[in-house]
Amino acid sequence: MEIRTTALARARHMLESQGRFPGGALPGDISDSWLRSLHLGIDPLARHEKLILSDTEFKLTQDHHADLVRFARPELELLFDQIAGSNFMIALGSPEGVVLETLVDTEFAESDAGKAVVPASVWTEELRGTNALGLCISTRRPAQVYGGEHFLRAHSDVSCISAPIFDGRGGLAGILDASSRSTVRQQHTAALVQMSASNIENCLIRSAHDRRIVLQFHPRPEYLGTLSVGMLVLEDDFSVHAVNRKGEMFLAGIRNLIGTSFDSIFEQRFEDVALRLAQGETLRVRDRMGSAVSVRCVANRASFALAVRLFSAANPQQARRSETPAPEIRNLFRDVVIEDEELIRRLRPLPKVATVGQSIFIQGETGTGKEIIARLAHAASGRSGPFVSVDARTLGPDAEAALLGRPKGAPGLIEQAAHGTLCIDEVSALGHSAQATLLHVLDHGSFRHPADGREVRCPVLFVSTATVSLTAEVAASRLLPALRYRIEGFSILLPPLRDRSDLDALARRFVRAQGEGFDIDPSALTLLARHDWPGNLHELRSIIANAVIQASGPKLRAENFAPFLPISHSPQQSIQACPQCSGVPWKESQCRVIRDAVRQHGGIAQAARTLGISRTTIYKHLLAES
């Protein structure tokens, strides 16, 4: 290290004093970059300029690379947490060298480097000489530039590690960079940066090709679903449209992969294995170089369409019998109340999604009906197996055993849900080990039983529910990014009750569920509409049950809800209960409702009609004060 540092110091001295440097004094990529910087006429002693795009230019750049930013953000956050130490930053760059996003620790942010590497800044070799982000763009390879290896002396107090992100078609999609104030070579950090870049690349390829067949392959089947997997994207004629870097490595003996047919790469014709792949099987095939790989199809729109098409061709009579229209949302939900048009719009694709088996994620506040929607998805799927539901927070450290089963015990949750639906609430509460196990099962449709190692096939419709977004859970390092992309297939955000337009219909349904003959007065519905409903449907159901107990007859009126539904008033409109009701909370609440109704309607008669009570009752609450 001392010899190399001395060589670097001599090279820098010659560079800055003579405009040249000795060959062999620097790593090859750094030497080539210094030569390019010299040819560009960059002065190594110049102060770096603040090369920042205008707001308009940066907004256009961000919009152009929106998918890159979306898939990279959780990886940036995970990488930021993984890198040990302090005084560092993580940056995402565009193929043009524009910094799109940064995550910076406080110490680094206060340094000159932290103030220079900011969103909208440009870091190409042409503008800043040798730097990791610019070098990565020039070479299309991972780059490490430490301290004085930067061409500009002004950048010699920082070390940078960059890795390219490709688009699968040979083009550069972006750059991932980690910078720190340390000049010690950080191979562990370099490995983490490259792993994160590979994950972003795979996510981009999957997302961009939802309407094309995407194949995953690896020489070892247990590595399917990991960062080491190769990916091939096929055109309609089954020629290669895109391939990730791992795929290129596995098929290194086959030149010009883009445009090459599947049959030219592998010994089997795609038509001979297409149906089995589209239906979720993992197959063992050999490439033209004689190497065996395990292949499976990524579950997306194209694979579902292919499975339906091939199955229909192979089984025309059965296909005709099954050609029934997808159930309408109102028919599917005939046993529940959904009359809010926005919610209906969000749920309309659910029957089709459940039928094809795509993973479903349901987000909503506590009490918004997440499990109800999960059960209806199960019903729509037509699966023969059971609906198995569990709150991950109840599983504790034994979560993995609960999922797979114990060596000598009952089947695990996954096996119990085979051919049915597995619904996990708050999936991020599972430990990372259990999450990795779940990811493996969802990707393979099977697992090795912990008792005897036998392979257990367990095709399931997977539904996850949560009160917060999966993005937030990944950002907090509670959820593995790879699992997030696997379970966030079809996402539904359930609105809170306060934002739904069908509160009246829901209230009527819950009231009638209390028994035959029960009904609710319009005055009570008016009162219910004023409440904020922090407990959502759970709270509405509970308050109605309590109101039924208070009611003297089958028709619920506003006064029956008053003890359980305090009305909040602004200070200037605060209404006091009459003396005879003071001191008894439920009487005070009821009294305030009555006195408020008189104030709002400007008279006793109208208030009596609205509340559904006699004028005599109202007089009692008004006259008791005088």
* 321: exposed, middle or buried (Cβ count in 10 Å: 0-12, 13-18, 19+): exposed
Same domain for 518 and 411? no
* Integer CA distances (angstroms), 423 to 388, 391, 522, in order: 6, 8, 38
For residue 535, the tally of other CB atoms under 10 A from its CB is 17
User: Within a domain: residue 319?
Assistant: no
Domain count of the chain? 4
Handedness of CA 305, 308, 313, 319 (dihedral sign): negative
Same domain for 226 and 284? yes
Taking the C-alpha atoms of residue 622 and residue 626, their distance in angstroms, rounded to an integer, is 8
For residue 256, what is the DSSP state? -
Question: Of 10-14, 147-151, 562-566, 572-576, where does mean pLDDT reach its minimum?
Answer: 572-576
User: Within a domain: residue 225?
Assistant: yes
> What pLDDT, in 10s, does the model give residues 290-318?
889 999 988 777 776 777 677 666 655 54
Handedness of CA 313, 319, 324, 327 (dihedral sign): negative
Q: Which residue has the tokens 């870097």?
A: 245
Domain boundary among 177, 199, 221: 199
Q: Which residue has the tokens 């910078």?
A: 179
Classified as helix, coil or strand, 474 is helix
Q: What are phi and psi of 395, to 5 degrees?
A: -85, -30
- Among 269, 376, 374, 368, which residue's Cα sits nearest to residue 327? 376
User: Within a domain: residue 615?
Assistant: yes
461-466 and 360-363 beta bridge pairing: parallel
pLDDT at 495: 92
Taking the C-alpha atoms of residue 606 and residue 610, their distance in angstroms, rounded to an integer, is 6
**Start-to-end C-alpha separation, the chain:** 95
pLDDT at 166: 95
Same domain for 114 and 72? yes
pLDDT at 85: 67
pLDDT at 110: 86
Domain boundary among 199, 218, 246: 199
Taking the C-alpha atoms of residue 116 and residue 457, their distance in angstroms, rounded to an integer, is 54
State yes or no: pLDDT of 569 exceeds 60: no
pLDDT at 626: 45
Handedness of CA 123, 124, 127, 129 (dihedral sign): positive
Same domain for 539 and 612? yes
Same domain for 264 and 164? no
Same domain for 60 and 141? yes
User: Within a domain: residue 48?
Assistant: yes
Taking the C-alpha atoms of residue 425 and residue 464, their distance in angstroms, rounded to an integer, is 6
Inter-residue contact 444 to 350 (CB < 8 Å) = no
Using only C-alpha atoms, the chain has a radius of gyration, in whole angstroms, of 32
Same domain for 76 and 56? yes
Contacts (Cβ under 8 Å, ≥6 apart) of 428 = 392, 435, 466, 470, 473, 478, 479
Taking the C-alpha atoms of residue 533 and residue 527, their distance in angstroms, rounded to an integer, is 12
Q: Count Cα atoms within 13 angstroms, Cβ side, for 47.
A: 3
Which residues lie across from 98 on neighbouring strands? 122
Average pLDDT over residues 163-172: 94
Q: E strand or H helix at 390, and its extent? A: strand 387-391
Same domain for 580 and 488? no
| Identity at 390, one-letter amino acid code | V
Same domain for 291 and 191? no
Same domain for 490 and 505? no
Same domain for 436 and 355? yes
Query: Binning pLDDT at 50, 70 and 90, where does residue 584 land?
Result: low
pLDDT at 593: 79
User: Within a domain: residue 510?
Assistant: yes
Taking the C-alpha atoms of residue 115 and residue 96, their distance in angstroms, rounded to an integer, is 20
Query: Binning pLDDT at 50, 70 and 90, where does residue 327 land?
Result: very low
Computed over every residue of the chain, the mean pLDDT equals 84
88-93 and 446-448 beta bridge pairing: unpaired
User: Within a domain: residue 314?
Assistant: no
Classified as helix, coil or strand, 609 is helix
pLDDT at 573: 41
292-297 and 213-218 beta bridge pairing: antiparallel
| Identity at 420, one-letter amino acid code | G
| Identity at 278, one-letter amino acid code | A
* Integer CA distances (angstroms), 166 to 50, 163, 246, 296, 542, in order: 28, 10, 11, 22, 54
Share of the chain above pLDDT 90, in %: 34
- Among 142, 186, 193, 144, which residue's Cα sits nearest to residue 164? 142
State yes or no: pLDDT of 227 exceeds 80: no
Average pLDDT over residues 68-85: 82
User: Within a domain: residue 323?
Assistant: no
Same domain for 455 and 404? yes
Inter-residue contact 340 to 330 (CB < 8 Å) = no
Q: Would you tell me the crossing angle of helices 522-529 and 604-611 to the nearest 10 degrees?
A: 90
CATH code of 451's domain: 3.40.50.300
Taking the C-alpha atoms of residue 144 and residue 161, their distance in angstroms, rounded to an integer, is 4
CATH code of 540's domain: 1.10.8.60
- Among 369, 362, 353, 370, which residue's Cα sits nearest to residue 461? 353
User: Within a domain: residue 316?
Assistant: no
* 183: exposed, middle or buried (Cβ count in 10 Å: 0-12, 13-18, 19+): middle
| Identity at 425, one-letter amino acid code | D
pLDDT at 519: 87
Long-range contacts, 564-568 (Cβ 8 Å, 24+): 565/527, 565/528, 565/531, 565/589, 567/527, 567/530, 567/592, 567/593, 567/596
213-218 and 230-234 beta bridge pairing: antiparallel
Does residue 623 or residue 433 have the better pLDDT?
Answer: 433
pLDDT at 289: 83
CATH code of 302's domain: 3.30.450
Residue 431, domain extent: 329-495
Query: Binning pLDDT at 50, 70 and 90, where does residue 568 land?
Result: very low
Q: Which residue has the tokens 């090795």?
A: 448
**DSSP assignment of 44-73:** TTSPPP--B--HHHHHHHHHHTHHHHHHHH
Q: What are phi and psi of 124, to 5 degrees?
A: -85, 160
Share of the chain above pLDDT 70, in %: 88
